[in-house]
């Protein structure tokens, strides 16, 4: 699995002009399931999202000292198959690496469940929808996670 996580002051998702989810302080996680991913990959990504220390401490001096739960933040997890796109050749991305929807959706749901089980509030986008994702990046602080590395 591949995830781009961003430390945010706020994030939201709209579908067909209607807001379907919103968080305040926390993380926006754009997540893609790759063809050969398993439950192991989903749990690894969930654990990293939940435990990665990318928030400032209470004094504001140490920039990468606390995780999302320690700062009382939430996670907005959005499915984004385009992260698996290959752009190394040609001008049009190839999506052969992206998992089929019937494989991807259960693994994304498992990821959300595992983050919730860690005690973190999670909002989501809508699987396979044309979404408009808005966020206010804090820092900016943006990280790429890959369960295969």
Residue 145 within any structural domain of the chain: no
Domain span holding position 132: 2-140
* Per-residue pLDDT, 77: 98
Is 149 a member of any domain? no
Q: Which of 54, 93, 59, 96 is nearest to 73 (CA)?
A: 54
Number of domains in the chain: 1
Specify the CATH number for the domain of residue 54: 3.50.80.10
pLDDT number for residue 60 = 66
Asked whether residue 133 is domain-assigned, the answer is yes
| Active-site entry in 6, 69, 80, 124 | 80
User: Using 50, 70 and 90 to split pLDDT, how confident is the model at 59?
Assistant: confident
The answer to whether the predicted template modeling score (pTM) of the entire model surpasses 0.85 is yes
Is 81 one of the catalytic residues? yes
Q: What secondary structure does DSSP assign to 78-128, as a single string?
A: EE-GGGG-B-SSSSS-B-TTBPPHHHHHHHHHHHHHHHHHTT--EEE--TT
11 in any annotated domain: yes
In a domain, 46, yes or no: yes
Decide if 148 is inside a domain.
Answer: no
Stretch 118-126: mean pLDDT, rounded? 97
When the pLDDT of each residue in the chain is averaged and rounded to a whole number, the result is 95
Question: Residue 25: helix, strand or coil by DSSP?
Answer: coil
Residue among 82, 86, 87, 132 flagged as catalytic: 82
Is there a domain that residue 34 lies in?
Answer: yes
105 included as an active-site residue: no
């Amino acid at each position: 699995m591949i995830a781009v996580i961003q430390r945010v002051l706020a994030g939201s998702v709209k579908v067909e002009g209607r807001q379907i989810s919103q968080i305040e302080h926390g993380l926006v996680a754009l997540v893609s399931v790759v063809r050969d991913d398993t439950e192991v990959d989903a749990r690894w990504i969930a654990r990293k999202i939940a435990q990665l220390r990318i928030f400032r401490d209470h004094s504001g001096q140490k920039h990468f000292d606390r995780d999302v739960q320690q700062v009382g933040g939430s996670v907005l997890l959005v499915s984004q198959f385009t992260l698996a796109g290959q752009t190394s050749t040609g001008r049009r991305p190839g999506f052969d690496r992206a998992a089929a929807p019937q494989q991807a959706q259960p693994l994304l749901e498992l990821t959300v469940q595992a983050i919730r089980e860690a005690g973190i509030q999670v909002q989501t986008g809508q699987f396979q929808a044309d979404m408009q994702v808005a966020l206010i990046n804090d820092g900016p602080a943006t990280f790429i996670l890959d369960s295969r590395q």
